[in-house]
Structure 1
Amino acid sequence: MTIDTIYQAIKQWKTLADSYKNGNKDSESEILDYLNQGSHFSVSGEEIKQWKVNLENEETKTIHAYVGINEDKLKFFLIDSKSDADADFDDIAIKEFTRRAPDGIIQNESDLTNNPPISSESAIYRNFRWDMYCSSWLETQKTEPFFQLVSIPFYDYERLHLEDGESCTCFFGLTNETDAASPIFDYHIEIITVKNLSIDEISKIAEDYSTPRPPFTVDTIQDYQLLLKSDAYL
């Protein structure tokens, strides 16, 4: 896929979101169809190793997962924050949003680190929230900045210690800041990452520190060159 095609895909998602915020009911149905088109995407150990090289000397290390539409399919375009800020688009990982069974299943969990950010039960529950309340949450976004990407701490991937040929599974969830009961408009979309996901077991470790953008409350918009260049795409 060429960089122009990636620009166009990201721009198409923004155009659809803008149409929804402007009151187009057909756009609401389209967005829901895209967001429920798949259940997850996978990230490989090889991709994580390349990001580690790119981010080696960086103080803040994140992965930007851009949302785009290409050939009527929802896709994710993942790039490390250093490459994005430098407008170096050579290592963009293109991900299909799919419902196919996750690949790279890992059976041995003896090397997993302790004290994960959230439990497997919490990860499942947040994904359940997304499945059940996606349409209700979308209604709250009419007056909020509509997300175009999700910023994921690189450590979420690094601490999984994937080998070549292994992969992890990433899926949507809904969460709030405290995880206590609160109105739906307090929740935001997130990407949860697990190392092992099989029909009878989910790994004991899950990562959930991802943040939707916009709003750009911490970073400068100049750190998101892929977003700026796709916005300018004609």
Structure 2
Amino acid sequence: MRSFTLFLSLFMFLLFNSCGENTKKEDQKDIEEATDSEVANEDNNKVILFFGDSLTAGYGLEQGEAFPAIIQQKIDSLGLSYQVVNAGLSGETTSGGKNRIDWVLKQNVDVFILELGANDGLRGIQLSETRANLQEIIDFVREKNPDIEIILAGMQIPPNMGQDYTTGFRNIFPELAEKNNVQLIPFLLEGVAGDPELNQQDGIHPTAEGQKILAENVWEVLKPVLMEEMETAE
């Protein structure tokens, strides 16, 4: 438990500070260009959009090692007609995500995976604000496409802000999932947090092997959604 708490403390610090403002702007430009090109090249495929922070972006790794890319490999191996788009941005908060969701959803998206909130916890942002931002993102996505499938990735933070804040933060995700009738990944970092062999030298961001476990955590929830979608389409 002590190693897990230490991991989360370090994780929250570097997750928010893993890139400067200039780098973040460059990353956002890259995401916008990649989003346009990937979707344009796969017009016949349905789109799965991963919308998150450095965990989704695959901080410190090659693009193909981030868990969204691993999910694409799983999809291709099953012959499913889905194209993954990685819209992860290191250092992103729920407020930042709310501000950029409009241009990210310029194209049609069939499955939307929301992985934000950890950086809010680092900054001690009021739980009500984090909850409201996530709700606004969900509402905006649903307004753009009422039939979209939404999956919310749960996150946890260390007890630096006190037990009430820590518990309240953890509860945001299952409560929003239930309220909005969306699928929930209970804890994205399950099986990776606190294991030095599965994290980079900073002790925080998953290695390529760690990203594979993140992919499994996501796939456990995502695969049934995709299979149901395919069956409905038939």
Normalised by the size of structure 1, how large is the TM-score?
A: 0.31
More helix by share: 2
**TM-score, scaled relative to structure 2:** 0.31
Greater RCO (CA < 8 Å, at least 6 residues apart) = 1
